[in-house]
Structure 1
């Protein structure tokens, strides 16, 4: 919907449906409230006020304070703050009178209760605004009826309705009457210039609880008579459990029960440490049931795929083969990325209590609906019998999409007939993960008369059906002869989405390649990108997902704010720009040499994500993505030997450290377009910007992640 179109028309039936779309909305139904006056300060903690329910999204207290339920999972991306801000804006209530609560999973009342793909705000934008605006209009209509005036003579602001006679009435005084009225056929949405909440800085609604240690996260959850479960899983991908001896485990103080389920063994204890100690005492015999793979073998396999001419073609424009044959020069480079674990600060965990009456689930999960369906199938129960409560998550990054830990908890509870909480140790988390797969890209380009005439991107991936590449992103449409093809090796190692799926490594490969092309062509890297984008602006191909105009403006903003080409002596710059998750991001990295070691000191990011709902939260998301992107590009590397992960904890697995993080400066392209994602798009361009800057500092091109393998252990991002 065009953000400048402010009038909406829909029936009562459509209102009830569209209100629930895309994780936002309201099903109107009110209780009686007393007056809601402006400038009223709460006399007690807002959480303890007497709130009255009137739908699945909103409760209002008798003095006008509002509770808004946030239906989507909160993994640190800020939707528990920003989604309620959108409702509150159009409802026209003061933000400091809003209390936010995490909603439970509810298939009837909410739609798309998912945290993934940076889509929550984008998908919920229209429905959330419609919800607030329609509710406000119904309250205005009720007030007008009470006064005996036309509703067009009334307006609402900060929970107070005023007529042209300057009479006022609070929302709470007309709620009962509003519930009896028809849903208005037309509602007026605010213009961006009228926003008082959207676009202003809002503190994370959970900040006080987080900083004071209140129980918000899955690891915090406790229930009466709950047991703790530590699970022994196959030590190598491709192995199964043959037998086990639990004699020593049962001698551990606090261990109550040992259960086998499938190829796993659960040790149940009175506390976490008893369960984990008991698990270590299990003597298990494992048998090989599949190939036990190693990193060196993977490297050979991926090279073999790239050398294969019979790959799956994802997109083909023009005639790449002819362009290459007629070229003055063909440049070809190969880029390699390793497996990566997710390394969420909070390890996987989940609570389950399976009884004859119901299945009660509580924990950190990005996909509650999918999880409920899988648990129902596992236990042969109806979905209606399953109640799932979502806790705040200490990181997700795609790992908590899969819910294997929730299924473990449900199965163990069902077998034990007790409430159980499964808890992963850090070693469990890293050795039994769902990883970003190892991938290689081979990129070739033909040059003729100083221009790029052909481009071929090949992908070789472990389990690419779980990953894949994006054939319709930049530079699709920019080069007339363009081809994208891919091949896949099916592995026993579990792989899946990792922050900014598809693009987290592809962006580095392509943006590094274009930097090298610019050098070969004798062109400025920023100018080359802008020239290429001119070719896509008039392209009628609807498959192309990015906007040439928006990408160009983002590139220019980053170049301007970062002072591209104007750095002082001893500062080396690198540039990168990428579109992912519906958002355009350009980044300029600065590297300095300290004792001959390249150090990333600053990154300037320009972002076009449409309207920014919460600037503070938006900046935090981009900064986090940039630092995450730099850290994994520099250091992240999970290897396998005979099916076993070589790294089990942070003593051997390298992460970016506090003193290695550069300053990250964020700028947003100002427009009135509907908002898009922010949790992931800041990450993909980071690796390319840093590698291009390191090249200018050391005259060394980087083709493999982690960079530390190519520039040496001393090359640290010291910040």
Structure 2
């Protein structure tokens, strides 16, 4: 690979490295390692470490600790990103220790978990930093020997000169730390990788399976109390009055207070996302000795709530979004050619409307956070995807300097976008400031499902024109709650493949809070578009795979820089999926559905196999092919692929959250349906091998899963699904007495 030029001093090296990390939405982790055969002790806390730079500590015996600044939500960055540095440092992975860093805005920027961008954006900066650190260690050893650095080689944390003399990294780290940063370093050619591309177990796996404290719910300190919050029962309601006499008399209850004034002040000023996630209502807080005692006392509080006349409508009806689809108040995101003219000249027109409900995030670990606020500092600990934003907002809320905030991140038991919105951090900070004690705020499952930010309800209308056997126009319209947060993606497939192409959006305002949900804006759009393309192929009487491949052919060689996907890479995953899934070659009784999609910079194709059991279709297998460039950690990649597919299948089949008068109708798993163990299909994963830079993987396999299943259900039942969840329409699940041909 090419030589990278760097012109900066050591302090700039540290500062620029951190900027590359945080500014690029990655968890920046730096490494070095041990001498061959050296076995670092299990407890490295007692070793005498020397700071090599802001990210690395190397002990004199070669043991290394690397601080991982970015939040870990199960996406594997705490394992995969260190592998990038370890590769270029030329160290033994088995001798690398990783620790979660704290929020540090001086050395890191934008410590964030979200968007499936960590590996993609950190690919070159992280490797370049590792290579630079390695060269500095080599230079230190060369100076010690009195030889030219070009005479030295490295292997697994040991430097060797032309005479065969060796020095471990730990032996030269003190000298290396004060050397001038080299201006040019060379990155490895992928064919020489030793760590990248090999399976590495999660660095936290032993602690996870043995129950060691890692998660926010595990965190405890001496003298800590627990808090549970009574929030409005419905969106659009505010607190009028409450009676806490019975609750105060219950065992373990220490105090009951009212909060919300500071949040309301910031909401009025339009600061941050206070209005969105905090609402405008006061809340009642129970402080108790244990979580259970706080939860039980909260249930004993008698509160009255009234409508907030200043708020938007909280009710949501299907006809509101349909009205938007039929209206004219649209924002056009992309317009190619003249769709009206193409539709007027069409031989055939296909038009369909697709609908999806609100969805909660349902993280396994409910929202929780710790706070202790003194005159000296604001101490925050817990699971949050946006620690810097949370710290800044808390400091602003309390009128303190953000430098007073000391925020420690724990591992998260799921995020999926919910922990981007740090309302629970603001709440616990306000509580701690009021009671002047260390306190842990814990949501119940009911709190989690009723006081959340939800995937917005959406409707898509897709219309296509067919002329002389070709697709001549394509019009995609979206109506969503709060603009689906980010709006449609107008430059994904089939943008560029159809001459007359238009994408329009409209939104309906509601107090039902909406936000990012795993694979934002594509998690349902992929189902709509890929279901539509299957039906379009049927209408045109052409092969569904060929239709997609032919359209992709039209994009090749395009000069349209707006196009974000690669037609060649998309065609490749389609062809591999057809081959690996045995498409069209399955025995009678196996019904297949296909989908291909690009999002988060990765190309994915999936085939669902459905069989009939007891008269009902059952999803038995998903074959998934992914092109995400170079795979850093195949073991972690497979975990992400399978998790995304299962999540996509489960929510397409069962996920449904409705509201009545602003109140969520499902408050726990007794009414909210998730996929069950016995319903999980076999996921067969295939990763395209190439030397292209890595792209996203935490989210891209979820969007096409629902479409592949829907198309397979059509093959099995003869019925098309245009709404999710599919299980909501049992009449469409009925399989004909005489089975269809798969």
TM-score above 0.5? yes
TM-score, normalised on structure 1? 0.96
1:122 to 120, 123, 148: 120
TM-score, normalised on structure 2? 0.93
Deviation at 1:265, TM superposition (A): 0.7
Q: Tell me how far apart the structure 2 counterparts of residues 305 and 292 of structure 1 sit (CA, whole Å).
A: 17
Q: Which residue of 2 aligns with 1:11?
A: 8
Does residue 1:73 correspond to 2:92, yes or no? no
Q: Tell me how far apart the structure 2 counterparts of residues 435 and 159 of structure 1 sit (CA, whole Å).
A: 48
2:207 to 196, 209, 220: 209
Does residue 1:537 correspond to 2:556, yes or no? yes
**Equivalent pair of 1:72/1:120 in contact (CA under 8 Å):** no
Which stretch shows the higher mean deviation, 145-154 or 462-471? Answer: 462-471
Q: Tell me how far apart the structure 2 counterparts of residues 205 and 512 of structure 1 sit (CA, whole Å).
A: 40
Which stretch shows the higher mean deviation, 620-629 or 123-132? Answer: 123-132
**Equivalent pair of 2:577/2:607 in contact (CA under 8 Å):** yes
Instruction: Name the SS of the counterpart of 2:97 in structure 1.
Output: strand
**Equivalent pair of 1:320/1:482 in contact (CA under 8 Å):** yes
Q: Tell me how far apart the structure 1 counterparts of residues 587 and 110 of structure 2 sit (CA, whole Å).
A: 49
Deviation at 1:112, TM superposition (A): 2.6
1:84 to 68, 82, 85: 82
Distance 1:683 1:76, change over 3 A: same
Q: Which residue of 1 aligns with 2:661?
A: 642
Instruction: Name the SS of the counterpart of 2:523 in structure 1.
Output: helix
Q: Which residue of 2 aligns with 1:396?
A: 415
In structure 1, stretches of 5+ residues that fail to align are none
Deviation at 1:11, TM superposition (A): 2.8
Q: Tell me how far apart the structure 1 counterparts of residues 198 and 5 of structure 2 sit (CA, whole Å).
A: 25
2:517 to 489, 498, 504: 498
Instruction: Name the SS of the counterpart of 1:174 in structure 2.
Output: helix
Q: Tell me how far apart the structure 1 counterparts of residues 57 and 384 of structure 2 sit (CA, whole Å).
A: 25
Task: Render the CA deviation track for 1:658-703: whole Å, top value 9, x for unaligned.
Answer: 0100000111111111111111111000000000011001010000
Q: Which residue of 1 aligns with 2:353?
A: 334
Deviation at 1:560, TM superposition (A): 1.4
Does residue 1:164 correspond to 2:162, yes or no? yes
**Equivalent pair of 2:591/2:712 in contact (CA under 8 Å):** yes
Structure-to-structure mapping, 1:317-716, within 5 angstroms: 317-464=336-483, 466-712=485-731
Q: Tell me how far apart the structure 1 counterparts of residues 543 and 665 of structure 2 sit (CA, whole Å).
A: 42
Distance 1:43 1:282, change over 3 A: closer
Task: Render the CA deviation track for 1:270-303: whole Å, top value 9, x for unaligned.
Answer: 00011111111111111101479677x4201001
Distance 1:406 1:656, change over 3 A: same
Q: Tell me how far apart the structure 1 counterparts of residues 31 and 604 of structure 2 sit (CA, whole Å).
A: 42
Which stretch shows the higher mean deviation, 658-667 or 20-29? Answer: 20-29
Q: Which residue of 2 aligns with 1:186?
A: 184
Q: Tell me how far apart the structure 1 counterparts of residues 85 and 329 of structure 2 sit (CA, whole Å).
A: 52
Deviation at 1:466, TM superposition (A): 1.8
Structure-to-structure mapping, 1:24-103, within 5 angstroms: 37-42=35-40, 44-46=42-44, 49-103=47-101
Deviation at 1:567, TM superposition (A): 1.4
Q: Tell me how far apart the structure 2 counterparts of residues 495 and 439 of structure 1 sit (CA, whole Å).
A: 11
Task: Render the CA deviation track for 1:623-644: whole Å, top value 9, x for unaligned.
Answer: 0000000000000000001110
Deviation at 1:8, TM superposition (A): 3.4
1:255 to 228, 253, 275: 253
Q: Which residue of 1 aligns with 2:265?
A: none
In structure 2, stretches of 5+ residues that fail to align are 261-281, 736-742
Q: Tell me how far apart the structure 2 counterparts of residues 168 and 26 of structure 1 sit (CA, whole Å).
A: 30
Deviation at 1:50, TM superposition (A): 4.2
Instruction: Name the SS of the counterpart of 1:503 in structure 2.
Output: coil
Deviation at 1:144, TM superposition (A): 1.2
Q: Which residue of 1 aligns with 2:225?
A: 227
Q: Tell me how far apart the structure 2 counterparts of residues 28 and 520 of structure 1 sit (CA, whole Å).
A: 55
